[in-house]
């Protein structure tokens, strides 16, 4: 039977690890965007040497399960790398999530870059702007607005993907839930609390997306 009193007692215990989940999400999100923009620009201009490397990178990161990537990095590479061997689990998860989400974000950004009218780039060149100035002042601001919905979808997927961090021993929301479940075996109440917390977080990110979308509409 559902124990309402236990649910209300365990909810704040699990929610106490919210800061770990948010820290992991926001850290990975920042580096994912940097990786995504870098790869998207390389693909947009088809920069020699780097372009085939990024295509291979995307094929691997987008074509393999995130769980396998986490285990390969943290347990597999630890056999051959002192840096990985001594790396904290939270750092390892943030790094793998950044690489994985950055691969997906790059395709969203690349599609947005391609949507910018070539006439605007030609006009910028006629005004004497360099390629770097054109991409920074003309292309990226417009591409950002176009890619915003897809980027927020990637961000929400990243938030939900952080739930795998407990597999490397990170005490986040899921890690705390696993610990509580091992003690009480009240999995119904515990994982209902987990689902509600993640649901509220997703609603928060969706609201932020609406605010930013409205701001972009006002700016452009």
Exposed (0-12), middle (13-18) or buried (19+): which is 182, by Cβ within 10 Å?
exposed
Residue 124 domain boundaries: 4-219
Each residue's pLDDT tens digit, 149-191: 889 999 999 999 999 999 999 999 999 999 999 999 999 999 9
Each residue's pLDDT tens digit, 68-93: 999 999 999 999 999 999 999 999 99
Does the pLDDT value for residue 112 go beyond 90? no
| CB-CB neighbours of 122 under 10 Å | 11
What is the reported pLDDT for 136?
Answer: 76
Total count of domains within the chain:
1
Local confidence band at 219 (pLDDT 50, 70, 90 cut-offs): low
Cα 194 to Cα 20, 115, 157, distances in angstroms: 14, 39, 16
- pTM across the whole model: 0.89
Rounded Cα distance between 93 and 31, Å, is: 13
b vs e for 58-74, b when ≥16 Cβ sit within 10 Å of the residue's Cβ?
beebeeeeeeebbeebb
- Who contacts 43 (Cβ-Cβ below 8 Å, separation ≥6)? 51, 54, 55, 106, 110
44: CATH = 1.10.3720.10
């Amino acid at each position: 039977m559902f124990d309402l009193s236990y649910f209300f007692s365990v909810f704040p215990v699990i929610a106490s690890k919210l800061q770990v989940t948010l820290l992991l999400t926001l850290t990975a999100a920042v580096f994912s965007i940097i990786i995504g923009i870098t790869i998207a620009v390389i693909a947009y201009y088809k920069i020699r040497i780097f372009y085939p490397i990024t295509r291979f990178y995307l094929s691997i990161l987008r074509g393999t399960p995130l769980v396998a990537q986490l285990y390969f990095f943290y347990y597999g590479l630890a056999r051959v790398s002192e840096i990985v061997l001594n790396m904290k689990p939270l750092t390892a998860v943030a790094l793998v999530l950044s690489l994985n989400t950055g691969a997906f974000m790059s395709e969203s950004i690349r599609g947005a870059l391609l949507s910018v009218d070539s006439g605007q780039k030609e006009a910028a060149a006629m005004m004497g702007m360099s390629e770097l100035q054109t991409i920074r002042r003309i292309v990226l601001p417009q591409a950002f607005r176009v890619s915003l919905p897809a980027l927020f979808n990637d961000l929400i997927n990243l938030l939900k993907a952080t739930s795998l961090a407990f597999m490397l021993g990170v005490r986040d929301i899921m890690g705390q839930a696993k610990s509580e479940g091992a003690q009480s075996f009240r999995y119904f109440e515990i994982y209902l609390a987990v689902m509600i917390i993640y649901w509220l977080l997703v609603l928060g990110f969706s609201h932020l997306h609406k605010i930013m979308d409205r701001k972009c509409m006002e700016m452009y």
